[in-house]
Structure 1
Amino acid sequence: MSAKIPSVSQLSSRIIRVLGMNPGPMTLQGTNSYILGTGKRRLLLDTGEPDHLEYVNNLKQVLSKESISLEHIVLSHWHRDHVGGLQDIYKHINPDDATIWKHKGTDPESQSTDFMPENKTLQTLSDGQVLTVEGATLRCVYYGVIFIVIINSTLK
């Protein structure tokens, strides 16, 4: 059995991992989401599952403790454990000016926007698109039906 992963981990000066608090056979100890960057406005990669308020509270505490807000929310792919927490994040944290990004994908399931908060617009990521916040640059690479984000080497 592997060691227990803490609910919040500072992986480097540029990466904070927030565990999704949704353990299971496919998610192991929980889906990871990541806060990337060094400035006051950061990027959140993935949002966990819906109705996991312990995750949302952990995310909210990190944002408050670090005195940071979200500039971008990037959804790596359409699976529920990666996009499902978005409405809860908007309900409890309210990052109103954050831009929400996802690749449109090619399969019918990836076309759904059921996970989106009301009155929010989903921006489409293109293959090779680069997103930047202070201290972090992401190059987005589309692969099959799953969208993969490659993090620039500046995130050591």
Structure 2
Amino acid sequence: MLSLIRNQIDSAAKLGLQVVSYNSAMDDSQKRTAEQSILSGQVDAIIVSPEQLGQSYFAEKILNQISDNIGLFVVDEAHCISDWGHDFRPDYSRIVRVLNNMPNNLPVLATTATANNRVVNDIKAQLGERLAIIRGSLTRKSLRLQNINISNKSERLAWLAQNLKNIHRHRYYLRKND
């Protein structure tokens, strides 16, 4: 998760955006630096781990002070909110409590690529009826699945060595024959 956060911050910087993270992997000095940037209005976005939302210090000292200036609250991996989700994380339930303490007109974007109808309905029930649901097709031109049956380990390794240069563009999943 931390490498994903760093990647998102680096990508935002390339767009000229100042983004900071606030998570449990940070030491006190890093948190203080992030807090100063946040409270002084020097950031365009904050990436906060759900675990930090449950910390009363973060909620009282930071979130409450900036809540009127938040333009969009984004929940990534929203399926984790749902008790029905395959990746349910109790820390995500804190998001619902945080949103209940935010201004009622705060726009909320919840994203997930892995929610079935039951999970979507549970997320909607927890985040509120004002949530608009937009669902795209799982069928996309950028996704392709292909099976390659190769009978033994040495042939699989030879195939992999020959095709490794193409794997960055295509994902191959090798399955041993039963």
TM-score class normalised by the smaller sequence: 0.3 to 0.5
By percentage of residues, which structure has more helix? 2
Q: TM-score, normalised by structure 1?
A: 0.40
Larger Rg: 1 or 2? 2
By percentage of residues, which structure has more strand? 1
Q: Compare relative contact order (CA 8 Å, sep 6+) and give the higher one, 1 or 2.
A: 1
